[in-house]
Amino acid sequence: MTDSSNKTFQSEKGIHTDFMEKMTYGDYLQLDPLLSSQKRLSSHHDEMLFIIIHQVSELWLKLIIHEMQAAIKKIQANELQASYKMLARVSKIQSQIIQAWDVLSTLTPAEYMQFRDKLGNASGFQSYQYRLVEFVLGYKTPFILKIYQKDKELHQILMDAYHAPGLYDVAIQSLDKAGLPIDKGVLDRDISKTYQQNASVEQAWLQVYQNVDRYWDLYQLAEKLVDIEDWFQQWRFRHMKTVERIIGHKTGTGGSSGVSYLKKVLEHYFFPELWEIRTKL
């Protein structure tokens, strides 16, 4: 520390320096276990990058789930204004995860091949938090659940989310509460199945967009949902291009077709009517 820095520090008389019996920043954040969890299986320098990028993404996914599940409860309670802040935060988090691909893309194919075999069959395809995000967004695929049967507690968490209403389910319920006609079959549908586009829902959203002043709260909700799907698709695209850049069209470590699979999921829409009405307005 330079003399000037030392003088500046000493001039701050109120700074706490005695933490023998007090909680520190590191204690609060549990930095010891957090920063000791990057355990490389090879001696290759770039494996540290690979581990940290994925761990950081999992932390962001945890916050996305936290925010979206809270938003669902607010929407169910007809507290739409409170849900907007949570959904807006999700979009900002998504922008951070998208930028993470830029960092991972500094890993070249030659470098990745030096430690890829150490992963065995471990793959991001198995990320249970990513599946929870998909479930909250209404994309529910039963065969995915088999991956998690090894851990009964985790499997139950996923099963609960699988059978719980998603973000779009409660948004459609809000349309119904506002007096917009929604087919009974949609309102009573089996929410453990992936949502399918419906004409009555499309017409209801069209009414919202054509009468913004009357349905301002629902209009804002719709735009928050579009933001989330837009960012999610951008994340999927950057994921696909990063994988293609690093491993080309090789099969994924988890057994998926890799780039081919990632291109297919780009075609899926979580909130199809909100995109369809843009052509019809």
Binding residue ranges for heme: 239
For the range 123-128, what are the long-range contacts, defined as Cβ-Cβ under 8 Å and sequence gap of 24 or more? Answer: 123/252, 123/253, 123/254, 123/255, 123/256, 124/54, 124/254, 125/252, 125/254, 125/255, 125/256, 126/254, 127/58, 127/61, 128/154, 128/157, 128/158
Main-chain phi, psi angles of 261, to 5 degrees: -65, -45
Q: Give the CA count within 13 Å in the CB-facing half-sphere of 104.
A: 25
**Separation in Å, CA 173 to CA 90, 138, 251:** 21, 14, 41
Euclidean distance between CA atoms 262 and 244, whole angstroms: 10
Which residue type, as a one-letter code, is found at position 126? Q
Q: Which residues are annotated as a binding site for substrate?
A: 50-54, 112, 116, 253
Q: Which residues are annotated as a binding site?
A: 50-54, 112, 116, 239, 253
Angle at the Cα of 92 from the Cα atoms of 91 and 94, rounded to 5 degrees: 65
Closest-CA residue to 65 (of 167, 163, 156, 210): 167
Please name the residues in contact with 145: beta carbons below 8 A apart, sequence gap of 6 or more: 155, 158, 159, 162
Euclidean distance between CA atoms 163 and 262, whole angstroms: 25
